[in-house]
Structure 1
Amino acid sequence: MESTSGNNYIHLEPFIHQVGGHSSMLCLDEATVCKPLVPRELNFYETLPDPVRKFTPKFYGVIQVRVVQEEGGYVTLLATPPDCYTPIQSNGKSCRIRMRRSGSIEVDSNVTELFHEDQPETGTSESKDVKKATPLNPWVLKCHRTQLQELMTNIHTNSSKPNFILLENLTWKFTFPCILDLKMGTRQYGDAASLPKKQSKMFKVVSTTSGKLGVRIGGMQVYQVTTKRFLCRNKFYGRSLNVGGFQQALRQFLHNGTKLRSDVLPPLIRRLEELVYILGRQDAVRFYTTSLLLLYEGDESKNSNSGTVYDFDKAREKNQEKESRISLTCDHSSDQMRVCDDYKVGQLNRRSSSAETLSVMLDQSLDEFISSTADPRNQLRRSSSTATYEEIKVAKSPSFEASMPSSPLPSTAPEPLVDVRIIDFAHSTHKDLDDPVVYSGPDHGFLFGLENMIALLKGIERDHG
């Protein structure tokens, strides 16, 4: 049995605020999370266009994670941090979670049960009502069980230690982070997807709000001041919504149990409008299968000046005795991990003309299906959305620039703490990736969803402003 003693390792714990996705997120500390490495996503983070970076989590490199089996059926996940790394003070919150090989998670009894999910878990073979309060978002346990099974399989097959990418923890600056995970766009598959995968993803688009609005809910948590807990929703809930249901869910995301948080609407809308402006000027970037996170502070007493995110780059500059490039190791030896080349997969074979034709036909059939099935009474029309995009794209007046979050409007009261970020780039592409398929112009499917989100939020603002 391998010992976990020693000061060179950091114990990793599940990230308690994960509301969507399928990969289990782990915490290196309260400001940094670890996500299972997907070579394509790693490549995207390393090469993504600079204007888009402010709307993605900060990327800090790659680490390897060790899985240590301990007595009593427990499992410990360990990582060796970068040389320049200084841990964030945990305020006594470390080692509050223990994991078992069975996939269960045991949480210290002193930890507050902050989460509850009040609708049945659908889409699984074991559908059951989940009303019990838990110390972590219920979706975390689902993702963690799957991830832990994969990690244990690696142990039994003597596979190499799993690789994880280090990313900024977007919830770090929030006390009670209200999070809305939105699956964006009218296309939900990458260029390398098989025909069955494309058909499955197309069906999810046309049968959900993705087809009518270009966006659907992938997960949600919103802090309720009445219960002092987060109300949680999952992706199955999001798939069940029609356009009217989506609008109601959006209002629920903005409601704290006593009132609708109309104060967070202006900064959220400005941030989304800036994103439309930036993405409208990006050529050949496609954010297939990505999610958009909307976050705001559930504690109204907090303002935008609270919280500081740990920055590896600044720490590296202050440490003159360390190398300028972060060197990441997997054990006590001096073997270094190569961040880029060792984790790149082979390039996809260039698709044949028949495969390209098939893809075009699939996209055309999707557009036709959406047009034929969408209810005009419930649909925010694509034509008006495109016109809005064109207006934003050509807008270069000082008034528009002044409306961007980088230059907040003057206010006598502190502006609510909000954030908007794009995540999950395992199927994204842009021209610098040397992919066999190169696109032209902006990602209109993603922009379609953004424009509809702005329109819906502005509608709520008019009603409750």
Structure 2
Amino acid sequence: MGRRRASKPLLRVLYSSWQVLLYRILQHPDGTVLKQLQPPPRGPREQEFYNKVYDSDCCDSILLELREYLPKYFGVWSPPTAPNEMYLKLEDVTRKFNKPCIMDVKIGQKSYDPYASAEKIQQQVSKYPLMEEIGFLVLGMRVYHVSSDSYETQNQHYGRGLTKETVKDGIAKFFHNGYCLRKDAIAASIQKIEKILAWFEGQKQLNFYASSLLFVYEGSCQATTVRLSDVTLAEKRGVPKGLLSGGDILEYNNNIHLINSTENGKIEASVSKGLSKFYALHKKAYSKRHHSQLSLKVENLEQDNVWKSSTCITQEHLNGNVIPQLEKVFCHMPAEIKESVNVEVRMIDFAHVFPSNAKDEGYIYGLKNLITVLQNILDN
């Protein structure tokens, strides 16, 4: 999607936001995103799909349930200076995340629709010959690494280079934050895909081609924050004064907004920036007081509930290495809170959706294969 600065002075271009590395998405000042309508017949077909699903008079239970798995739709929008340019106005699925990790996965055994020409079919098949066998294709990903406080990006060439033997490791890369595998995010993703699969198993109205799943999870350890008031030592004299105070801020939606004030009078430090301070805290405290204790109370912002039991890291068990202990805290969450992990899995891209009287077996096949791969990553 091109950027037209002159005609859209009030809009902002989001790089690598929704469609990962494939498009530039415009952001409306109200926080929604604008996807430019594609040329006919694709654009009108996608608009018709959204209009049908989000029709205010819709009473079809299948379509009403489908809304749960899509970004919210707010109609069509045109800039005042270019009324002939049409945009789909959609929910920004990444907006609530501090450090969004994003992956776009095309689902189905065919990336071409039933009306595609022989030339189009050949073109699509040649892009990824394994699509029919694997049932999905990684179109791109963007992963936040806690260790370097930076993002790693992979484009569509990365996904097309994955084979049957390497696809598991290729997807696992999306869930690794530089310290550990985010098993909590994998488990939550599987649960959400299973719900989408159940919807497909129960409907015979629509078939989807060249459509994707958009995965988003919180890179700064499941949108958890470490409240400074909750980071204490049993003996305060072991804590260097001012070690955890100062300029930590929450970065909102990948540099779109910065929260430089505190909520409810409490300073909140993102985990990504707090880890280095934990190391400093550990090193200083360990040298001064071998048996002091560091208590970490981790709070889930989305649910605003404290874990049933706070996690304590005892210095005498650290043995000079805090990373394994932090992995236990942030990367291996209790089973009972996996549902509340800050993860989104939404269906996107509907330029090739067609009426049907049979189950969408190609899409179902892709979902099942993807679940199997994710489960194998989780089990291993």
Q: Aligned ranges for residues 27-426 of structure 1 at < 5 Å?
A: 27-29=27-29, 31-37=31-37, 38-48=43-53, 49-65=63-79, 161-205=84-128, 207-208=129-130, 210-300=131-221, 302-303=223-224, 411=336, 415-426=340-351
Q: Percent identity of the aligned residues?
A: 31
**Conservation of the 8 A alpha-carbon contact between 1:185 and 1:449:** yes
Higher strand share: 2
What is the DSSP-based 3-state SS (H/G/I as helix, E as strand, rest coil) of the residue aligned with 2:93? coil
Give the C-alpha shift of residue 51 in structure 1: 1.7
**Conservation of the 8 A alpha-carbon contact between 2:22 and 2:155:** no
**Conservation of the 8 A alpha-carbon contact between 1:191 and 1:427:** no
Is the counterpart of residue 11 in structure 1 residue 10 in structure 2? yes
Give the C-alpha shift of residue 412 in structure 1: 6.3
Unmatched segments (≥5 aa) in structure 2: 38-42, 54-62, 226-249, 254-333
Provide closer, same or farther for how the CA distance between residues 426 and 19 of structure 1 changes in structure 2, counting only shifts above 3 A. closer
Distance 1:21 1:458 in 2: 26
Provide closer, same or farther for how the CA distance between residues 421 and 162 of structure 1 changes in structure 2, counting only shifts above 3 A. same
Provide closer, same or farther for how the CA distance between residues 230 and 284 of structure 1 changes in structure 2, counting only shifts above 3 A. same
Give the C-alpha shift of residue 253 in structure 1: 0.6
Letter matched to residue 99 of structure 2: F
Provide closer, same or farther for how the CA distance between residues 21 and 229 of structure 1 changes in structure 2, counting only shifts above 3 A. closer
Is the counterpart of residue 446 in structure 1 residue 363 in structure 2? yes
Give the C-alpha shift of residue 29 in structure 1: 3.2
Give the C-alpha shift of residue 199 in structure 1: 1.8
Letter matched to residue 175 of structure 1: N
**Conservation of the 8 A alpha-carbon contact between 2:20 and 2:103:** no
**Conservation of the 8 A alpha-carbon contact between 1:223 and 1:231:** yes
Distance 1:253 1:300 in 2: 14
**Conservation of the 8 A alpha-carbon contact between 1:293 and 1:423:** yes
CA RMSD of aligned residues (A): 3.0
Give the C-alpha shift of residue 267 in structure 1: 1.5
Please list every run of at least 4 consecutive aligned residues from structure 1 whose deviation after the TM superposition is greater than 6 angstroms.
306-309
**Conservation of the 8 A alpha-carbon contact between 1:177 and 1:298:** yes
What is the DSSP-based 3-state SS (H/G/I as helix, E as strand, rest coil) of the residue aligned with 1:26? strand
What is the DSSP-based 3-state SS (H/G/I as helix, E as strand, rest coil) of the residue aligned with 2:169? helix
Give the C-alpha shift of residue 45 in structure 1: 0.5
Provide closer, same or farther for how the CA distance between residues 164 and 412 of structure 1 changes in structure 2, counting only shifts above 3 A. closer
Give the C-alpha shift of residue 263 in structure 1: 1.4
Distance 1:21 1:428 in 2: 23
- 1:351-393 CA-to-partner distances (Å, cap 9, x unmatched) read xxxxxxxxxxxxxxxxxxxxxxxxxxxxxxxxxxxxxxxxxxx
**Conservation of the 8 A alpha-carbon contact between 1:300 and 1:416:** no
**Conservation of the 8 A alpha-carbon contact between 1:176 and 1:299:** yes
User: TM (normalized to structure 1)?
Assistant: 0.51
Distance 1:265 1:239 in 2: 22
**Conservation of the 8 A alpha-carbon contact between 1:30 and 1:169:** no
Give the C-alpha shift of residue 284 in structure 1: 3.0
Distance 2:224 2:30 in 1: 19
Letter matched to residue 187 of structure 1: K
Give the C-alpha shift of residue 264 in structure 1: 1.4
Provide closer, same or farther for how the CA distance between residues 236 and 410 of structure 1 changes in structure 2, counting only shifts above 3 A. closer
Provide closer, same or farther for how the CA distance between residues 53 and 21 of structure 1 changes in structure 2, counting only shifts above 3 A. farther
**Conservation of the 8 A alpha-carbon contact between 1:303 and 1:416:** no
Pick which of 36-45 and 57-66 moved more.
Answer: 57-66
Distance 1:238 1:414 in 2: 28
Distance 1:253 1:42 in 2: 31
What is the DSSP-based 3-state SS (H/G/I as helix, E as strand, rest coil) of the residue aligned with 1:203? helix
Distance 1:449 1:291 in 2: 11
User: TM (normalized to structure 2)?
Assistant: 0.62
**Number of residue pairs matched?**
257
**Conservation of the 8 A alpha-carbon contact between 1:66 and 1:162:** no
Name the counterpart of 1:397.
none
